[in-house]
């Protein structure tokens, strides 16, 4: 049984302009307007079975939030249709469904009414809503005086306490404090255990991979890929975030020494993008030194898909001293046995002087790769352990 079904779903907006900025154009602007159709979502067809958790990823402006709005019914489709089966609750944007001049208490009932929840049901759940939001002392204050975090806490509390069959959540959870984010994620786990259907947008790729059964990749209004979260995330990273063409990569340095075509190699020496926990991973690092450089330092660092720094080292720290480099050469970095656990990661590389005064070349978050853990163990790193 499906919870959500979309068929050739699309939404088009019209952008208006004045044409050429000439005197004649300005005089005739009232008589003619140039219109430009803009499809934020087009031809999206998918089914989400009941009880599944699906994450939606993609660059900013790709149409992720529009897809959720269409699913929630807050946006009317231009073409196609979307159907949902069961009670639906959503938290799509900051302050949605709240009236700024009403108190938090009044807005709980207003928001619930917009979700189709009877007033008597809300009365029974009111204390739980307020306690979950941790806003007891502010509940009778007009919400126009709330911070963005308070808005999110109250909105999420209403959305989950009305016990929907389908929950839609946009990136707004990122506004709340860390403690409340963890509390929300615990509630999402509870929803999953109870067989609820969740569809949510997030830029936190590690969260998508951890919580979702499936991921959708939206790009320029198109559903370009769907499937296993790890595979879809890696496709996103490679297509839109990696090898210098992406969202988070950085490159800087004097280029006195610079990298060539760096390759990530598996046990057979073949270039690869996916590796196994405990397996072989070698980084082949060609370089060109445009002058003789005494005692250069090669370094690397690793980050998770969420951008969390997890490890870094260099030849100086590891007492692998190079007397000098000049012209072309190749360094190799052996990360075997690979201790990283299931997930997506970014590799950064750098070359700098021994005294750290000159950064020759640094590429930050430049090389994405994935790790798969066949054992089923969980966490960030594999530790050698045994039971006695």
3-class secondary structure per residue, 364-386: EEEEEEEEECCCCCCCCECCCCC
Q: Looking up tokens 């911070």, which residue turns up?
A: 147
In a domain, 57, yes or no: yes
Q: What is the 3-state secondary structure (H, E, C) of 61-100?
A: CCCHHHHHHHHHCCCCCCEEEEEECCCEEEECCCCCCCCC
Whole-number pLDDT of residue 84? 94
pLDDT digit string (tens) for the chain, length 388 residues: 999 999 999 999 886 654 555 555 555 555 555 567 889 999 999 999 999 999 999 888 888 989 999 998 889 999 999 999 998 888 776 656 678 888 989 988 888 887 777 888 888 889 988 988 888 899 999 988 988 788 888 888 888 887 889 999 887 666 666 777 788 888 888 989 999 999 988 887 878 888 899 999 998 899 999 998 888 988 888 777 544 444 467 888 999 999 999 999 999 999 998 999 999 999 999 999 999 999 999 999 999 877 788 999 999 999 999 999 999 999 999 999 999 988 889 999 999 999 999 999 999 988 989 898 888 777 788 888 888 8
To the nearest 10°, the Cα dihedral for 231, 286, 289, 241?
-10
| 89 and 171 both lie in a single domain | yes
Whole-number pLDDT of residue 60? 81
CATH number of residue 323's parent domain? 2.70.50.60
pTM: 0.71
Whole-number pLDDT of residue 48? 95
In a domain, 377, yes or no: no
In a domain, 385, yes or no: no
Domain that holds residue 178: 2-11+37-241
Whole-number pLDDT of residue 21? 53
DSSP 269: S
In a domain, 382, yes or no: no
pLDDT tens digits along 157-196: 888 887 889 999 887 666 666 777 788 888 888 989 999 9
- Which of 241, 266, 281 is the C-terminal boundary of a domain? 241
Distance of alpha carbon 99 from alpha carbon 107, whole angstroms: 7
| 7 and 94 both lie in a single domain | yes
End-to-end CA distance of the chain: 47
Whole-number pLDDT of residue 180? 79
| 165 and 86 both lie in a single domain | yes
- Residue 104, class by beta-carbon neighbours within 10 Å (0-12 exposed, 13-18 middle, 19+ buried)? buried
Angle among Cα 289, 293, 295 to the nearest 5 degrees reads: 125
Whole-number pLDDT of residue 245? 41
Whole-number pLDDT of residue 35? 65
pLDDT tens digits along 13-34: 886 654 555 555 555 555 555 5
| 109 and 64 both lie in a single domain | yes
**What angle, 0 to 180 degrees and rounded to 10, lies between the N-to-C axes of helices 104-114 and 148-161?**
50
DSSP 322: -
Whole-number pLDDT of residue 376? 73
| 108 and 257 both lie in a single domain | no
Whole-number pLDDT of residue 175? 60
Distance of alpha carbon 341 from alpha carbon 338, whole angstroms: 8
Whole-number pLDDT of residue 23? 52
In a domain, 24, yes or no: no
Whole-number pLDDT of residue 244? 43
Tokens of 118: 């009877």
| 257 and 227 both lie in a single domain | no
Whole-number pLDDT of residue 44? 93
Whole-number pLDDT of residue 172? 62
- Which of 241, 259, 286 is the C-terminal boundary of a domain? 241
In a domain, 383, yes or no: no
The structural domain count of the chain equals: 2
The CA distances from residue 213 to 3, 223, 231, in Å, are 14, 17, 12
């Amino acid at each position: 049984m499906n919870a959500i079904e979309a068929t050739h779903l699309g939404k088009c907006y019209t952008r208006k302009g004045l044409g050429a900025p000439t005197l004649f154009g300005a005089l005739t602007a009232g008589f003619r307007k140039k219109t430009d159709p803009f499809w934020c979502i087009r031809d999206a067809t998918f089914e989400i079975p009941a009880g599944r958790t699906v994450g939606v990823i993609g660059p900013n402006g790709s149409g992720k939030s529009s897809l959720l709005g269409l699913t929630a019914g807050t946006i009317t489709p231009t073409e196609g249709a979307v159907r949902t089966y069961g009670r639906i609750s959503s938290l799509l944007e900051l302050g949605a469904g709240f009236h700024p001049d009403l108190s938090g208490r009044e807005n709980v009932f207003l928001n619930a009414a917009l979700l189709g929840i009877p007033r008597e049901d809300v009365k029974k759940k009111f204390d739980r809503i307020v306690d979950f939001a941790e806003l007891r002392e502010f509940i009778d204050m007009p919400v126009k005086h709330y911070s963005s975090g308070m808005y999110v806490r109250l909105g999420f509390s209403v959305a989950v306490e009305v016990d929907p069959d389908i929950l839609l959540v946009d990136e707004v959870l990122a506004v709340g404090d860390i403690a409340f984010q963890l509390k929300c994620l615990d509630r999402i786990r509870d929803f999953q255990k109870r067989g609820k259907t969740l569809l949510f947008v997030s830029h936190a790729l590690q969260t998508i991979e951890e919580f979702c059964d499936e991921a959708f990749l939206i790009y320029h209004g198109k559903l370009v890929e769907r499937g296993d979260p790890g595979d879809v995330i890696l496709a996103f990273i490679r297509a839109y975030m990696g090898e210098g063409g992406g969202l988070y990569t950085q490159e800087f340095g004097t280029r006195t020494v610079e990298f060539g075509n760096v390759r990530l190699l598996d046990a057979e020496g073949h270039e690869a993008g996916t590796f196994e926990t405990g397996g072989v991973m070698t980084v082949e690092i060609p370089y060109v030194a445009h002058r003789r450089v005494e005692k250069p330092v090669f370094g690397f660092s690793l980050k998770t898909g969420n951008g969390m720094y997890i490890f870094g080292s260099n030849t100086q720290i590891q007492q692998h001293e190079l007397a000098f480099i000049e012209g072309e050469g190749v360094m190799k970095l052996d990360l075997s046995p690979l201790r990283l656990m299931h997930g997506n990661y970014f590799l950064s590389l750098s070359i700098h002087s021994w005294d750290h005064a000159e950064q020759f070349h640094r590429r930050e978050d430049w090389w994405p790769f994935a790790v798969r853990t066949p054992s089923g163990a969980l966490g960030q790193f594999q530790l050698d352990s045994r039971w006695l």
